[in-house]
Amino acid sequence: MAVVIGAVMPVIVKLLLLLLCLNFNSSLTQARKWESWKDKYPFIKPASSFSSSNAWSSGSSKGHNYDYIIVGGGTAGCPLAATLSQKFNVLLLERGGVPFANANVSLMQNFHISLADTSPHSASQIFASTDGVFNARARVLGGGTCINAGFYSRASQSYIKKAGWDSKLVNESFPWIEKQIVHKPILAPWQKAVSDGLLEVGISPYNGFTYDHIYGTKFGGTLFDRFGHRKTAADLLTSANPEKLDVLVHAMVQKIEFDTSGRKPRAVGVIFKDEKGNQHTAFLSKRKGSEIIVSSGAIGSPQILLLSGIGPKAELKKLNISVVFDNKFVGKGMSDNPLNTIFVPTNRPVQQSLIQTVGITKMGVYIEASSGYGETEDSIHCHHGIVSAEIGQLSAIPPKQRTLEAIEVYKRNKKHVPQEAFRGGFILEKIATPLSTGHISLKSTKVDDSPSVTFNYFSHPRDLKRCVDGIRIVEQIVKSKHFTTYAQCDKDTLDKLLNMSVQANINLIPKHTNDTESLEQFCKDTVTTIWHYHGGCQVGKVVTPDYRVMNVNRLRVIDGSTFNESPGTNPQATVLMMGRYMGVKILRERLGRAAGL
């Protein structure tokens, strides 16, 4: 196979390559962006429109008497807000901006841009875990649905049963999401080749197109339509009652306020800053049943609880945070599904595709695929940013050594990498239910500082064994007859691909000299993320089965931070469903079946 082996790069490369030379549309003013969609979403406004008296400057009759305040307008927060607004006044606070006028969010061809954009207003906030793995948090209305690969696949029936959810309501909530924002993909040639390869190596039966989580090989739904335009959780807000919903963007929630005069602390409001740096307080209605609901994701939700004084007493006191309730489990049980990837260079350009095909094995490993990145001369030779993860990139260099001189050397070296090195597809293997866990802790009392996050990848030996099993499946697929259309890959070539992957700078983990006989070391050295981290506010430890924060009144957490394991092959379908499910459940509990939902 005529390729430069040094171009082999696991999936982080895929996520940070290509198209960063495109115009970021910086010439568009914020006013023009508002203008393009404000008629459709009249209830979405900048946080600064919230006056110091806690009433809308526009004269809204809702004022500050909110029945529900939702902290985080992401994957769960948007469907939750849309549902609750059918009957009650809702305030949704989102720290990021809107996705609607952002081509870097809306277009599949621009998938990489937000992930590599380190500017303060990017839809994605990059952080590195203490393990040395790059990761990203969404910072935009719509949350992770705005920056992910768009794959949509439901949780398994066993997961739903284990979670204690009402299966009838679950089966009503999934279609509510799917009718509005999910599409059947047009299967790309690379995805078909991987699908055929999966079947050839025994990941069967072939289940065709389905949202369901069943063993074998299938292709699932996508948030991208046939033109490559993305739908997001924010689009679900069209189902809201505009008379009862206020959405504030660029509203950075600082902490939750409590009344501690009673037997249990009682949430009463939230303090947030607007885009101009001014501080506001929004209060809950005193009506029975009113609640603050935190839906800020697996990083943001435990962080908000900790900043608000709910968490391990000793940790809070170190930062002089007043303790509202001592709970040693807040921020604990963090887990991320480790991902390892093989880049397969091809003898021709391949069509761009994100995740469409998946092999659901009985070994506790999922196999997925993507393709078609970095095919043009411009995208190869342009400067992809300080955190890009290509061969010769700077992310493995300590920050203080990332000088202008180092950047110039990087750019010069990159020009000598042949175009063939960037042409090909990826086969991904993800561990389904990792047993390795970590934790999150505050580095400061500033909410816009990402906390310290540790996942402890492969600290449990079973995780490492499953990774090795997954890599062996990928090896078999790469050598299957269905890949002869794209590339010839014999054993010697595959060994070189694996060995050179270890040298690719795709994380900050120290590299080891090893060969293909040490797949355990390969897994450790080339681990990346697929953004399916979860935990930190788990059921039975931080929240009750109905997601109320233990020993605190009028406060819930509804998002992936409550999960003990990531649902399905990819969690977004389940988190979207969860927002709708819990919205309906809360309304029915408060109003009875007369809620009509």
Q: How confident is the model at residue 48 (pLDDT cuts 50, 70, 90)?
A: very high
Give mean pLDDT, residues 53-81. 74
**Is the pLDDT reported for residue 75 higher than 90?**
yes
Enclosing H/E stretch for 318: helix 313-318
- Cite the annotated binding site for FAD by residue number: 94-95, 140, 253, 531-532, 560, 571-572
Here the tokens at position 171 are: 């089966």
Alpha carbon 139 to its chain centroid, in Å, reads: 10
CA separation (Å) from 218 to 81, 192, 302, 337, 534?
Answer: 32, 10, 35, 20, 25
pLDDT for res 421: 52
CA 107, 111, 115, 116 torsion-angle sign: negative
What's the CA gap between 354 and 108, in Å, rounded?
A: 8
Question: What pLDDT sits at residue 586?
Answer: 97
Query: pLDDT band at 400, cuts 50/70/90?
Result: low
Pairing of strands 245-249, 221-222: unpaired
Percent of the chain with pLDDT over 70: 78
Does the pLDDT value for residue 404 go beyond 50? yes
Asked whether the beta carbons of 505 and 413 are under 8 A apart, the reply is: no
Mean pLDDT of 226-239: 96
Q: What is the mean pLDDT of residues 257-283?
A: 96
- State the pTM of this model: 0.88
Per-residue confidence band for 594, with pLDDT thresholds at 50, 70 and 90: low
pLDDT digits (tens, 9 = 90+) for 298-320: 999 999 999 999 999 999 999 99
- Record the tokens describing residue 77, joined without a space: 């927060």
Tell me if residue 284 falls in helix, strand or coil: strand
471 or 116, which is more confident? 471
Active-site residue identified among 213, 384, 439, 532: 532
Share of the chain above pLDDT 90, in %: 64
Could you tell me the pLDDT band of residue 115, with boundaries at 50, 70 and 90?
confident
Any bridge partners for residue 553, and if so which? 266
pLDDT band at 375, cuts 50/70/90?
A: very low
Cis peptide bond prior to 399, omega within 30° of 0:
no
Amino acid at 311: G
Q: Note the helical H segments in 504-562.
A: 519-525
> How confident is the prediction for the chain on average, in pLDDT?
84
**pLDDT score at 11:** 35
Residue predicted with more confidence, 291 or 103? 291
* pLDDT attached to residue 29: 40
In whole angstroms, what is the distance from residue 524 CA to residue 432 CA? Answer: 17
Per-residue exposure over 387-399, b if at least 16 CB sit within 10 Å of its own CB, e if not: bbbbbbbbbbeee
Adjacent-strand bridge partners of 315: none
Tokens 């023009």 belong to residue: 32
Instruction: List domains and CATH numbers for the chain.
Output: 186-219+338-431+458-526 (3.30.410.40)
Q: 363-372, 412-421, 519-528 — which is least confidently predicted? A: 412-421
The total of other beta-carbon atoms located within 10 Å of residue 228's CB is 15
pLDDT band of 383, cuts 50, 70, 90: very low
Least confident residue range of 10-19, 74-83, 281-290, 554-563 = 10-19
Q: Residue 184: pLDDT above 90?
A: yes
Helical H runs in 119-277? 157-163, 167-181, 189-200
Half-sphere exposure of 345 (CA within 13 A, CB side): 24
Please compute the mean of the pLDDT values over residues 184-202 and round it to a whole number.
94
What pLDDT, on the 0 to 100 scale, is given for residue 402? Answer: 52
Residue, of 404 and 561, whose pLDDT is higher? 561
Average pLDDT over residues 277-300: 96
pLDDT in tens, 354-372: 999 999 999 999 999 998 7
The DSSP 8-state label assigned to residue 445 in this structure reads S
* Helix (H/G/I), strand (E/B), else coil: 236: helix
Q: What is the pLDDT of residues 315-342, one digit of tens each?
A: 999 999 999 999 999 999 999 999 998 8
- At residue 410, the pLDDT reads 57
- Of 57-66, 220-229, 357-366, the one with minimum mean pLDDT is 57-66
Q: How confident is the model at residue 39 (pLDDT cuts 50, 70, 90)?
A: confident
Mean pLDDT of 177-188: 97
pLDDT of residue 537: 98
- Binding site, by residue number, is 94-95, 140, 253, 531-532, 560, 571-572
Lowest mean pLDDT among 418-422, 507-511, 574-578: 418-422
Tell whether the model's pLDDT for residue 56 goes beyond 90.
no
Q: How confident is the model at residue 399 (pLDDT cuts 50, 70, 90)?
A: low
Say whether 381 is catalytic: no
Contact status, residue 558 vs residue 295, Cβ threshold 8 Å: yes
Per-residue confidence (pLDDT) for residue 116, from 0 to 100: 72
Q: What is residue 7's predicted lDDT score, i.e. its pLDDT? A: 34
β-pairing verdict for 216-219 and 357-360 = antiparallel
